[in-house]
Amino acid sequence: MIERRWKRWLHFYIPLGVFILVTLFPFYWMLITAIRPDEELYRSWRAVNNAPFWTLSPTLDHVRDLLAKTTFPRWLWNTFFIALVSTLISLVCGLFAGYALARLRFPGAGLLGTGIFVTYLVPQTLLFIPLADIIRNFHLGNTPWALILTYPTFLIPFCTWLLMGYFKTIPKELEECARIDGATRFGAMARIIFPIAVPGILSAGIFAFTLSWNEFIYALVFLSSPERKTVPVGVVSELIRGDIYFWGQLMAGALLGSVPVALVYSFFVEYYVTGLTGSVKG
Amino acid sequence: MKSSAAGGATGVEVALPHPSPTRAGRLTRVLDSERALAFMLLGPAVILLGVFIAYPFVMGIWLALSSTSVGNVGEYVGLRNFVKAWNDSIFQTAFRNTFVYTFWATIFKLALGMWLALLLNRHFRLKRIVRASMLLPFIIPTVLSTFAWRWMFDPTFSVLNWTLYQMGLIVTKLPFLSDGTYAMWCAIAINTWRGMPFFAITLLAGLQTISPELHEAAALDGANAWRRFRHVTWPLLKPVTLVVVVFSVIQTFSDFQLIYVLTGGGPANSTHLLATYAYQLGVASGLLGEGAAISLFMFPVLLLVVWLQLRYLRRMEGA
């Protein structure tokens, strides 16, 4: 089938170009706002020689203010630490549970599998009010542990689901051989099956990490001191003073808060996409 | 899903009927019993999910039936919180908004995501990098990207207004976030922008499993592009689509952060969703009981969606 050139433009290049433009423009806008001096930012939109799409005098003032005058570096560290630890906890739980559901026979297996799948679909906004009360009663309020222990509630079901699917693709004969050679069931699982599942573990881990980095409502409700906050909550609650939006600083914060997760993503695109598509297919 | 449990290794038990007595420590025996091992392996996950999902859920129902507020234990009040919410005009707006928001955002995400998936499924230069960059809105924390949108919709300095004005399409500024109806559609647009890549990439993965030979055969039979999509691609893509739509409906219906950052429910409480209104009452005003009741209004819809999903999974297994 030979397509005529204009037809290919009309049906392919132009729509794809519009998709790319709309998808990426907000990120370009973050960048350009973050490096633009205030007097350019707040110029009337009808002013003459207003050039909103680029800047004539780029500056790093906003970034410098953000890093020096706010607790932003602290928020970055908090977010990273919380995301990493909750991802690790969820991976361990997910590995074990996924293996048990994929390989072991025990009463109530079907029910438990369904139960874990259903918790996967429970949104955080359904539970945040009672959960805030529980966190207070456990004396976990305003500590990183409030998030490290609650993030696994939406990460474990996903990790279990993904890894269970992965384990099912590994032939059972491998374990049986190891067992004949004298390995315990647990040993066969930990030394034979888990190493083979590394790509699956990586997919689940990358996806879980980005999910915890993005989480907002639990972090908003459970943390209160400025230096304990995560990036999304810190940017929302600490960079707006009164009713005044310091857009340069806000966009610098949005940009810097996005870079770590974008970097992780760009190194592991394939794994992320496997995690993403696996998250809905199981 | 249920078949997963049937994957037990009967062959293993035959190979090793009894743990050999020489290394039969107690631990070894326990670890070799399938039931005990399953119990231990599922323990951590079940405990965490029990403490932080099942328990809060039960507690949420109790709160919703009580007059609890911050610093006040409260007492059982029956359905009073639910009735009060139902007669509250802000709640009614939030309730309606949640359905409108979910409905339109899902339609747009599905239509545009499908279109984008079909485009990305073709061969072109820089394909890998384009595909990878299209997922960015989904990766970047929603709160942060919504701030960028809020700045683009700024009442005084909106770049979108500037562009439309320069193109001669408008003569006065559009009230993007200062008018309730405009603000709701802006929120739907941003939600679409953020969620469309998820649809596109998942549907693309589905498209890639469809053999090109089917399309060639249909083309030889004289089917045009639309008919090929309608009769070849769509039937094969339907299962994936259904699952993606379910996930998206749940996420959109329970959305909080986008509205919280974009409008905070304003102007004049006209853009609240159930989740943001629950937050305003339950956390900002400290009325835990009333807030929990409003959250629970989401439950029947979520239950229905999950039930449909489970029924569908069962049918797939049966087939």
- Annotated domain spans of chain A: 1-34, 63-281
Distance CA A46, CA B274 (A): 39
CA distance A197 to chain B (A): 17
Distance CA A190, CA A202 (A): 16
In a domain, B123, yes or no: yes
Asked whether the beta carbons of residue B201 and residue A277 sit closer than 8 angstroms, the reply is: yes
In a domain, B223, yes or no: yes
Distance CA B141, CA A215 (A): 8
pLDDT in tens, chain B (319 residues): 334 434 334 333 444 444 444 455 666 666 667 888 888 899 999 999 999 999 999 999 999 999 988 888 888 998 999 999 999 999 999 999 999 999 999 999 999 999 999 999 888 888 888 988 899 999 999 999 999 999 999 888 888 888 888 888 888 888 888 898 999 999 999 999 999 999 999 999 888 888 888 888 888 888 888 888 888 888 888 888 888 898 899 999 999 999 999 998 889 899 999 999 999 999 989 899 999 999 999 999 999 988 888 888 777 766 5
CATH code for residues A63-281: 1.10.3720.10
CATH of the domain at B157: 1.10.3720.10
Q: Could you tell me if B12 lies within 8 Å of chain A, comparing CB atoms? A: yes
CA distance B104 to chain A (A): 19
For chain B, the domain total comes to: 1
In terms of Cβ atoms closer than 10 Å to its own Cβ (0-12, 13-18, 19+), residue A236 is buried
Q: Could you tell me if A122 lies within 8 Å of chain B, comparing CB atoms? A: yes
Q: Which of residues 66-95 of B touch A (CB under 8 A)?
A: none
Asked whether the beta carbons of residue B159 and residue A52 sit closer than 8 angstroms, the reply is: yes
Q: Could you tell me if B307 lies within 8 Å of chain A, comparing CB atoms? A: no
Distance CA A172, CA A208 (A): 27
In a domain, B35, yes or no: no
Write out the residue range of the structural domain in which residue B176 sits: 94-273+298-318
User: For residue B75, what are the CA distances in angstroms to A131, B63, B66, B288?
Assistant: 19, 9, 5, 12
Q: Could you tell me if A69 lies within 8 Å of chain B, comparing CB atoms? A: no
Distance CA A161, CA A119 (A): 11
In a domain, B33, yes or no: no
Q: Which of B63, B140, B276 to probe the A interface (max A CBs under 10 A)? A: B140
Q: Could you tell me if B129 lies within 8 Å of chain A, comparing CB atoms? A: no
Nearest CA to B43 among A106, A136, A195, A187?
A106
- pTM value is 0.89
Residues of A in contact with B305 (CB under 8 A): 121
In a domain, B74, yes or no: no
In a domain, B117, yes or no: yes
* Helix (H) or strand (E) segment spanning residue B41: helix B34-49
